[in-house]
Amino acid sequence: MSKEPSRVDAGVPAGGQFAKTAHSDTVPTLDVAAEKTATEQFAAYLESEAVISRHREQAEALDKVHQIKSLRCLSAAILAKHPDAATLEITENEDGENQYDLISVTAADGTVLEGEDIDEDWGEELAFDDGPDLQGLLYALDLKDDAWAAGVAEFDGKDRRYTRRATIDLKAAVNAPLPQ
């Protein structure tokens, strides 16, 4: 005989939850929705297509606003560092990454203030400590849709490397209008 008290309450068979007595367990059930007709399914499909289309349009509109705000920030950062700057020259990335790269910043008299011919890393050095990433802001500009350039940039066509080049008027770009 054991001196240890029973670990099972009186009336509960030995074996606890594994005992061979009847006990009720909750059984999960699945609620199956009534099937929809083909017409109802098609109507739901069309509704989801309309929602997707609306969201796509909103995303495109938001992207255009993002491009203009990136252009404004880029221009303001350059003008803060070089108040006498007039233009920013950019070119299509040679690696086919569907983006622009910084080329140079020039004054109104044509003097190059910053540029790849002067210093290869000028774009990183031009940025402020804890300030915006200028090249990152430039990546926001769409290479295939020039809507961002309206009233602030002129395209020179292709340069000797067969890439697109643009000259951005920095003072106009700071106040570039947002799309409607």
Residue 19 lies in a domain: no
CA distance 48 to 12: 56
Structural domain total, the chain: 1
Please give the pLDDT value at position 53. 96
Residue 18, in any domain of the structure: no
pTM for the full model? 0.67
Question: Has residue 161 been placed in a domain?
Answer: yes
Is there a domain that residue 3 lies in?
Answer: no
Question: pLDDT tens, 12-64?
Answer: 666 656 666 655 566 778 887 788 899 999 999 999 999 999 999 999 999 99
Which of residues 33 and 148 earns the better pLDDT score?
Answer: 148
- For residue 114, tell me if it sits in a domain: yes
Where in the sequence is the domain holding 131, given as residue range(s)? Answer: 38-174
